[in-house]
C-alpha cells in the first residue's frame, strides 16, 4: 500500500494583537495575590480557631493564576516580511504574516522563527571563550607588565 502525499495549501491566519491581551494577562497576575489576600482576610474561623478562607475568593485567585499562566506562552513577535507557522498538536492550522507584537493560541507550537538557537529549550547557545595565559603571565598574577623584563641599557655598537 502506497501513501500519496498531498501538498498543504498555505492558509493565512489572523492573530490577535498582543497589546490587547497583555494588559489582561498582567491584570490576572496582579489579581491573584490580591484575591488570595482578601480570601484570608474575609475568611472565618471555626469553633477550634482554625482559619477558613472565603472559598469563592480563594478559587477565584487560583483560576486567575491558571489563566494568566496559560495565556503567557501565546505572545510572539514578527518582523516585517516574516511569518510564523501555527501548528496545533501536530496539524497545520495556518500562517501568521502580520508583523508586530502578536498573541495566538498558547497551544500553537511557537518555536523559534527562522533559525535554530542551538539548545533544546530555545535559549541562545553560549560559546566557550578560551583565555590564553602563559605560565609566565599566570605566575605574575595575571598581568604581563609586572613580569616584563626591564629594557636593556646596553647599547650595541656597530
Would you list the domain boundaries of the chain? Answer: 16-103
Rounded percentage of the chain residues whose pLDDT exceeds 70: 68
Summarize the confidence of residues 147-157 as an average pLDDT: 56
Rounded Cα distance, 112 and 117, in Å: 7
Contacts of 81 (CB under 8 A, 6+ apart): 99
Q: Are 28 and 68 in contact (CB under 8 A)?
A: yes
Between the CA of residue 78 and those of 17, 85, 114, what are the distances in Å? 11, 11, 11
| pLDDT tens figures, 48-100 | 888 888 899 999 999 999 999 999 999 999 999 899 988 988 888 889 998 89
- The reported pTM is 0.61
The pLDDT score that the predictor gives to residue 124 is 54
Amino acid at each position: 500500500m502506497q501513501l500519496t502525499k498531498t501538498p498543504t495549501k498555505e492558509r493565512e491566519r489572523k492573530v490577535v494583537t498582543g497589546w490587547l491581551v497583555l494588559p489582561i494577562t498582567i491584570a490576572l497576575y496582579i489579581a491573584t495575590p490580591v484575591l488570595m489576600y482578601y480570601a484570608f482576610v474575609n475568611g472565618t474561623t471555626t469553633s477550634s480557631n482554625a482559619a477558613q478562607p472565603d472559598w469563592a475568593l480563594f478559587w477565584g485567585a487560583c483560576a486567575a493564576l491558571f489563566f494568566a499562566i496559560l495565556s503567557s506562552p501565546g505572545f510572539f513577535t514578527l518582523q516585517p516580511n516574516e511569518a510564523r507557522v501555527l501548528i496545533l498538536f501536530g496539524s497545520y492550522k495556518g500562517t501568521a504574516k502580520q508583523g508586530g507584537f502578536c498573541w495566538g493560541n498558547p497551544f500553537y507550537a511557537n518555536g523559534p522563527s527562522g533559525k535554530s538557537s542551538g539548545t533544546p529549550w530555545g535559549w541562545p547557545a553560549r560559546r566557550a571563550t578560551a583565555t590564553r595565559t602563559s605560565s609566565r603571565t599566570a605566575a605574575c598574577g595575571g598581568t604581563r607588565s609586572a613580569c616584563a623584563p626591564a629594557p636593556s641599557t646596553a647599547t650595541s655598537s656597530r
